Structure 1
């Protein structure tokens, strides 16, 4: 099995991300104004979008091929993409995913840009959704070494 490579997807190749989403019947879509990140093992096995927003980024479209879930691909992809950001990163997720994102340094106590706050309120009308955020420049304490 070949090693997994985590890297930005070059702009001319962005249609490959939508092809990946469609191949797995995902409703997610890659957007042209975003930084697209992928995990590859020859083919794309995971992807996410980092959309510029209010001096930061909105992480959307995180999707891992079902056969590779539970192997750390999503966490590594998010970690590598976020490490390149020069401002805060926000995301919306189901409350059940809070622990997953907290292990990656995201936290619930986040101030959203106005546009994202309004969008979150709209989304919450139809389903349970929380906002999380991280600022990569700020070191996040490792919960295994932090003593209280």
Structure 2
């Protein structure tokens, strides 16, 4: 098995992230105003977006190829992407993913910036979502 490389995705290669999501029938999309991070074994096997917001980052689009789930890829990708972060990180997830994110240091007891509070309220109209947060300066 080839080693996995975890690194930011350069802007000219951003279309590859959306291709990865589409290949796996995910509705996620890469955000052009975010830092895109990927895990690669020659091809992209996982990705995430970190969008600067309110002195921190909003984590979206974390997705691991189904055949590689449960092997620590998501955790390693998050560790690589969040290591340079100097502020809090927030995310929204389905309630069944809360335990996964808690094992990575996220907490459901988080203060969201106003813009994310509004967005979460809109999302919750259509599906069950919870907010979680991580303060790397406290967790690391």
Q: How far apart are residue 139 of structure 1 and its match?
A: 2.8
Secondary structure, counterpart of 1:138 in structure 2: helix
In structure 2, the partner of 1:119 is 119
Supply the distance in 2 between the matched residues of 1:48 and 1:64 (Cα, whole angstroms): 9
Query: Counterpart in 2 of 1:4?
Result: 4
Q: Quick one: distance in 2 between partners of 1:43 and 1:55?
A: 32
- Paired with 1:39 and 1:102, the residues of 2 have a C-alpha distance of 21
How many residue pairs get matched? Answer: 140
CA distance in structure 1 between the aligned counterparts of 2:24 and 2:139, rounded to whole angstroms = 35
Unaligned runs of 5+ in 2: none
1:17 aligns with 2:28: no
| 1:1-148 correspondence to structure 2 within 5 Å | 1-139=1-139
Structure 1: 5+ residue stretches without partners: 141-148
C-alpha deviation, 1:86, in angstroms: 1.5
Offset of 1:83 from its aligned partner? 1.6
Q: CA deviation at 1:84?
A: 1.6
| Per-residue deviation, 1:75 | 1.3
Deviation at 1:136, TM superposition (A): 0.7
Structure with higher Rg: it is 1
- Deviation, 1:46, is 0.2
Between the aligned partners of 1:31 and 1:93, the Cα distance in structure 2 is: 17
Structure 1 segments, 4+ long, off by >2 Å, are none
